[in-house]
Amino acid sequence: MAQTLKGKSAVVTGGGSGIGRGIALALAAEGAKVVVNDIGRGADGRSAADRVVEEIVRANGAAVASHDSVATMAGGENIIKTATTNFGRIDILVNTAGNYLGAPVAETTEEMWDSLVAVHLKGHFSCTRAAVREMLPQKSGRIINFSSRGAFFLPFPSSPYATVKAGIMGFTAALAKELKEHGITVNCILPSAVTPLFPDKKGPLGDNMPVPPNPDPEFVAPMVVYLATDEARTITGQYFYAGGGDLCIYARPLQLPGGAHVLVRKTGKWTLDELKDVVPQVLGLSF
């Protein structure tokens, strides 16, 4: 199997379970050396990050664990330093770490609000700032953020959660513009999957997106791997939906009339070769 990410170094926050675990395994399968970051532990007390590292190593990949929290600036710096210390560089940052504290705004405590902001917004910023400082001299890098359709179509009352997810989309758009001239791309995934954080998918949201045929979180990973490749070097500032075999490239908000979402479905998981063909066509790009 051709390893399109051989020689690359990647960091996956929240990589110990769910979507993050699938991404870490997929990046490693494509040859990337991976820092698996997670503060979580299993029922037996073992580190979730350590478990995923063991999976990667058993498959002859290269990986190390990071147990720092994304919710502090020092934690973000330590996570990226784990990559540069062990692998010499950082080429790919995937910000999947998140939490969920759901309540109507009138019932949301200051502690709940601060926790959501710290993990989602500060967590994206802390790791991204540290990674960008390494990527700028390289004049290359891939940053893939994780938001949610819940930013605008949350099916249950939790405006604080929606707010931080919408903030990630704004961060993505602005950062992509800021870093484009430096060869660093920034994109955002809005996934759909059954995960430890959201174990129960109840059906379509208000955006009319169909329910994906497979809720496995590993189906989100191929889109992330594609965005990390050299072939995706001109794709930046985009919002992608990924779930099951479904892929959607969202029209950017606040643009003039005429933009439209494009949904593409296949049976089964997307392959990297298929995404290399489909995504540029949908975006109207030429390479």
Q: Which residues are catalytic?
A: 161
Residue type, 75: G
Sort 172 into a burial class: Cβ within 10 Å, 0-12 / 13-18 / 19+: buried
DSSP structure class, residue 202: -
Residue with tokens 């938001």: 147
Under 8 Å between Cβ of 75 and 83? no
Which tokens belong to 32? 């990337």
The Cα–Cα gap between 159 and 85 comes to 39
Helical pair 221-228 and 272-283, crossing angle rounded to 10 deg: 70
